[in-house]
C-alpha cells in the first residue's frame, strides 16, 4: 500500500505547526518540528518510489534517494543542518546545563523552517512527476 500521500500530508502539517511554534517563541520545538517535516517529506518520496525507509537521519534518507534521483547539493546541505535539531532540541542532557527551551534562538528556528520548506518543495516537485 502506497502511503506517500499520508507522509507528505503530515510533512505539510508539521510545517504549519513549526510556523505556529516560531510565532509563539517556542524556538527549540520549532527547530525539532522542522526536522520532522523534512524527514516525513523525504520518507514520502521514498515511499512513492517503493523504497520505504526507517530512521531519522536526514542524510541517510537523502543518500537513499540519491540511489535513483539527482539530489541538489542545497538539499543535502539543509538536511545536514536540520539533522542537528533531532536530539538537542528535546533533551536537557544534550547540554552541560540548561533546558533546550533556553538554548535555541529565533534565527535558528527561522532558518530551520526555511530549510524544511526547501525539502518539502523539492519533494513536492518530485511527487507530482
Give the tens place of pLDDT for each residue, 72-91.
999 999 999 999 999 999 99
23-49 pLDDT, tens digit per residue, is 999 999 999 999 999 999 999 999 999
Ordered by where they begin, the domains of the chain are: 4-127 (1.20.120.330)
Answer yes or no: are the C-beta atoms of 96 and 17 closer than 8 Å. no
Find where cell 538539499 sits: 75
The per-type count for the chain, helices as H runs and strands as E runs, is 5, 0
Chain centroid to Cα 109, Å, comes to: 12
Amino acid at each position: 500500500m502506497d502511503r506517500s500521500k499520508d507522509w507528505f500530508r503530515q510533512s505539510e502539517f508539521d510545517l504549519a505547526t513549526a510556523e505556529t511554534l516560531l510565532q509563539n517563541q517556542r524556538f527549540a520545538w520549532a527547530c525539532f518540528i522542522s526536522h520532522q517535516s523534512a524527514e516525513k517529506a523525504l520518507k514520502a518520496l521514498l515511499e512513492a518510489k517503493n523504497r520505504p525507509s526507517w530512521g531519522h537521519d536526514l542524510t541517510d534518507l537523502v543518500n537513499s534517494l540519491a540511489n535513483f534521483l539527482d539530489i541538489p547539493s542545497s538539499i543535502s546541505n539543509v538536511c545536514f543542518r536540520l539533522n542537528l535539531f533531532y536530539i538537542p532540541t528535546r533533551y536537557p542532557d544534550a547540554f552541560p546545563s540548561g533546558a533546550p527551551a533556553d538554548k535555541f534562538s529565533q534565527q535558528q528556528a527561522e532558518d530551520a523552517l526555511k530549510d524544511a520548506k526547501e525539502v518539502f518543495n523539492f519533494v513536492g516537485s518530485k511527487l507530482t512527476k
